A and B are shown apart, each in its own frame.
Chain A
Amino acid sequence: MLPVFDVVLAAAILVSAALALWVRDRIAAVSGFLVTGLLVSLSWLRLGAPDVALAEAAIGAGLTGALLLRSAHRIPCAPSKALPPSLWCAAGALAIAISGAIVWTVTSFGAAPVYPSLVADNLPESGAQNPVTAVLLNFRAWDTLLEIAVLFVALTVVIMVAPARPRTAPLGPLVQPFARVLLPLTVLIGGHLLWQGGHAPGGAFQAGAVLAGGAIALGLSGVIGSKLTRQNGLALLAIAGLAIFALAALAAEVLTGALLGYPAGEAKTWIIAIESALTLSIAATLFLLFFGPAERH
């Protein structure tokens, strides 16, 4: 039964993605993308990756979808030039070749991942029970720190480029499809995160995204006044994440001699402290990524 479900799901993902990419209408394309995202996150639940599924639903589909909806009308369609068929065929052949190479590469015999046993062995010392959280905030926290730096840079560029602020309308036509999809999800995922706590799927990114999503929805519907977004404090909160994480990394090195090496036995405290700071910072960053700077330079 389940394999059949998976095959149908897989096919649905491809179809909706193709629709999203080729449909002419902007809103339809973005909606197609949103649906693809949600189906993908469902498939990732099936692949045994609930943390990622949550993140994809909240950020990959939700927030990205919101951003795309915001911009869909402001970016005019490029005059669609009919490409010569030869170019189409070449591009198609290339795409098929790459897809084929990927399938062949992944299905050919490969070495088993080295990570599961390493993660399992070191999980008790990591300060987190959820292996994904352990990887993100302990084993490979350096990746995460750089990822926060990416968000920081993205925010800096968006503030610099300063697109027009989205118009807030009490549940206007722009908001409705988005709110219809996102709000229930927000509530659902938020509840899930609260319920499961730190030991199960969830973490700073998902929580931050949910917070940001709620704030954006409220901001768009005018519930959160523009007063809040005009405060410099929000931007400072956003950049604080990188500063705190970097300082924590260096502080850990002072204490233990290893960059990001948490003192023995206190890993959990450190992780929770960093995660809570990150949650707020991520939420502020994502919110500002959506709304842009208060004033244009």
Chain B
Amino acid sequence: MISEYAFLATGAGLVGLALLRLATSADLLMRVLGLNVLAVGIAMLLLVSGMGASGTDAVPQAFVLTGIVVLVGVTAVLLALAERIAEDRDE
């Protein structure tokens, strides 16, 4: 029970931290990091919600897995764009 609440608070806290950072930073890399932390927080919430007496629900686990893979793809695109923006600025 205590563990559950601890991780719930972690999930909510990660979401809050990430949103705060996203709202207050104009830095490209920080925005990428913030979005990733936000996603981790949401995943934590999904898993905490899926906990039950007979183990953790497999469906939210699948959701989280999908979310992780989606996010790495998006992150790669974000970083590629950010690098090109920096390059163009240098030129």
Contact = CB atoms under 8 A, between A and B. Distances in A.
A2 B61 CA distance: 22
A144 B9 contact: no
B9 A10 contact: yes
A235 interface: no
Contact of A289 (B5, B11, B73): B73
For chain B, the bracket of interface size reads: 35 or more
A162 B81 CA distance: 9
B61 A134 contact: no
Contacts of B7: 6, 10, 43, 46-47
B65 to A, nearest CB: 5
B65 A154 contact: no
A233 to B, nearest CB: 20
Contact of A286 (B9, B49, B72): B72
Interface in B16-71: 16-21, 23-30, 32-34, 36-37, 40, 43-45, 47-52, 54-66, 68-71
B15 to A, nearest CB: 6
A195 interface: no
Interface string A155-187: 101100111100000000000000000000000
A119 B58 contact: yes
A150 interface: yes
Given A17-B17, A151-B73, A6 B6 contact: yes
A17 B24 CA distance: 16
A112 B52 contact: yes
A67 B74 CA distance: 11
A29 B29 contact: yes
B3 A2 contact: yes
Contacts of B74: 150, 154
Contacts of B30: 21, 29, 78
A231 interface: no
Given A21-B17, A29-B33, A106 B45 contact: yes
Nearest to B27: A78
Nearest to B29: A75
A98 B71 CA distance: 22
Contacts of B23: 91, 94-95
B91 to A, nearest CB: 12
Contact of A71 (B2, B64, B83): B83
Given A21-B18, A162-B84, A113 B59 contact: yes
A52 B3 contact: no
Interface string A54-76: 01100110011001101110111
B64 A102 contact: no
Interface string A239-270: 00000000000000000000000000000000
B17 A47 contact: no
A102 B57 contact: no
A136 B18 contact: no
Contacts of B61: 49, 51-52, 132, 135
A228 interface: no
B20 A92 contact: yes
Interface string A74-97: 111110110100011001101110
Given A13-B14, A60-B71, A87 B24 contact: yes
Nearest to A58: B68
Contact of A37 (B40, B70, B75): B40
Q: Which 3 A-B pairs have the closest CB atoms?
A: A154-B73, A99-B16, A131-B58
